[in-house]
Structure 1
Amino acid sequence: MDARHLLTSVFTVLSAPPGEILAPLSRMLADVVPHRALAMLTGDCARHPMRTHGQAALTERITSTELARLGSRVDVGVPWFGTAPLAGEPRQALAIAATPPDTSGALLVIVTADALPPSEAARELARRWWDLVSLQVAERAANQTPSAFASNRFVASERTRAIAELTEAHSATLTSILGALRSPGLDDATARTTATGLAVAALIDLRAATDLDRSLTEESAGAAFDRLADKLLPLTRYSEVSLELAGPRERERAVPADVANAARAVVRSAVLTMLDQGGIGRIRAGWEAADSELRISVRDDGPGTLAADTFVLHRLAELVDALGGELTIDAVPQWGTTVTATLPLTPLEGPRPGPLDTLNPRELEVLQQLALGRRNRQIAEHLHISEHTVKFHVANILEKLEVGSRTEAAAVAHTMGLAPVA
């Protein structure tokens, strides 16, 4: 691979959307480590901690529990090659763990195309590439839009709830099975031993899945604040501004990963904005984890002229609001500025359904035609359905949207941004 092609490939991988980063990485690795599938597990993305790419027969069956178990055998910076359970069967794989500064770490598993071990040069090249990719994944997770923070938080909390419920249900079932199989009234000792071993293994897997999900979607308040400190201290190392950092007293308190990311973004942006004012001698930033919220405070001793409508502070207010929190700016001339924020630690409620969310796909198509002003006959011809069926759909649409006429339904479609299809 010549230098120009290599740089182009690296740029393509690093500029790919978060959900599509494995596809260009697979193309870049193809000649270095021939493979059938790639899988990644990261602690810096709460919404999608595991992603896969490659042959569907593998990617659809690889589990996060398998990756986590393999990851426990891999040392950071030392690529591992061997046989590991993946997609339900022992497979040859190259595993690479990376923990760039201020990240939770990421694991790349390459299911190789043959049993021949990759050369040392190939392993080292793959390791360096993965270091770059994992750093990019972490940076994007820490600098998401407000809507992405809110979406990730909701999805992560729902996934945790679902896994917990499934774990409890399966645990109860398997515990009952174990009780029956251990009964002295059963004579087939071999069957009991085999079934007991399988049931215990299933329980362990389920509990491991819950523990894994918690580790990927939460971090301790102390560790989260330490990651922030590592980012902030270099900002004032060579200036006359004194930076005081007050970490949370309850360092072991669990904080959702996306709340921690948002909190770091709030403090980092507030400190940078304060430094831009000039005339600053001291900045104090602190966190405190209460029962249901994370409280953030950043205070300076500057001119006290920062306004809440400053672009950066306005964007921070949007980010905090997206997570169900609140941000306030208290600027007192000659006394300094205090930026405070509260972020809820409890799971967010799901987004409320909009008027169009109650309609099925066919009803949406009919509504799009109504928005064009078409009559039933025209709609029937366009959608290749009977006029009677159109009438049925129109009646359902009016009832679901709680409107009294086709014109009102069309107005709802326009208001909600449903683009008419000619």
Structure 2
Amino acid sequence: MEPALGLAVRVAQQPGPETLDRLSEVLGEYLPHRMAAHLAIYCTATPVRAVGEPDLAAAVTGAELGALLGCVTAGKPWQGTVRIAGGEFPVLAVASDRAPSGALVVFVRPDAEPLPEETVELVQALWDLATMIQYQLTLTSQPEVLARARAIAQASETAVAELSEAHAAAMAGLLGVLRSRQVDDATARASAIDLALNALEDLRADAERRRTSGGEEPLGRAFQRLAGSLRPLLRHGPVELELDPPGESEFVPSDIAHAARVTTRAVVLAVLEQDKVRRIRVGWQLREGELVVLVRDDGPGELRDRIDLGHLAERVRAQRGRFEVDATPGWGLTVRANLPLAPRVPRHPAAGLGAREAEVLQRIALGHRNREIAAELRISESTVKFHVANILAKLGVGSRTEAAAVFHASVTG
């Protein structure tokens, strides 16, 4: 096998939209595949791209890749058979967290023979590199404008998704009551009215929360609200709901409590789409600056096309959280979402940056331009641009001005 460094250089030599072409070419000898397709949420121009057999490349969809992105954890490549590009194919799916919202590449393979571990590790490393290169290129192209546009689009998409999920939850509860053979007509009607009233109250509460952002909420009370919205979904069905509530005395930001409720409800709705689920366990845990959402089921434990968590995973990762799905055939799924209680921006810039990045940030804060920084540090101007893009990404800001403000706040604070 060619040294990994040599392969990495070959991939890096073809930046931009052609990165996938070069990655597919470089890996062809070690990973035979009929098609390679990627999903890069951070890239507004071409988030979905495919190369390989024309019929397969033309048929793959963003929805199929998005479903896999929600189930495949960064750093843990997955091999199996999925429905993609209009058929059932063996694939290797590899996710990367080297860009906000994550990125995924899927290789449709000619057979289902398990790949050697060293090959899988190589693919993961090269995809991390390709993701990082592509993301830096998007940042260096008018970063302030792109960051602002992404933030606006992301907020809009999140609001629409949350409303859709709330609507789906309300409809699922109503259908569960109306279809149940265990209740009479009068009881079903009363239950349906209660469900509708609860759904309206949730919508009003959400609208109020958006108008008056900020503040804190007791974690125990937030979980009780969640339980109140979940029980009607399962009350008249065959699935048992088990609740593992957090401590009553803890307080969290209201936005985080809301995000946890929305995330939990969306996961429960998704796992209910599976066959043979008879028990769902829901719990929240507060630990080390994060609110951890846990949902477990006793279903088939397979990542199939019946369960789609892709869009939810994107939203969690966009909030600088972590989203993981573990599937154990015969035992069920475990879905974990880690929601940070505060923005993951280090108090002192150097805490989250490399030594060279810290030097570049200090000069940005002094108002130096890229050419000046390159001369002072005796590096190329393109290298400075690369470091600037990394700094903006790590600090979670969209412009040099904001990065400088973070630096000055850390010094004066």
Class of the TM-score when normalised by the shorter of the 2 chains = 0.3 to 0.5
Q: Which has the larger radius of gyration?
A: 1
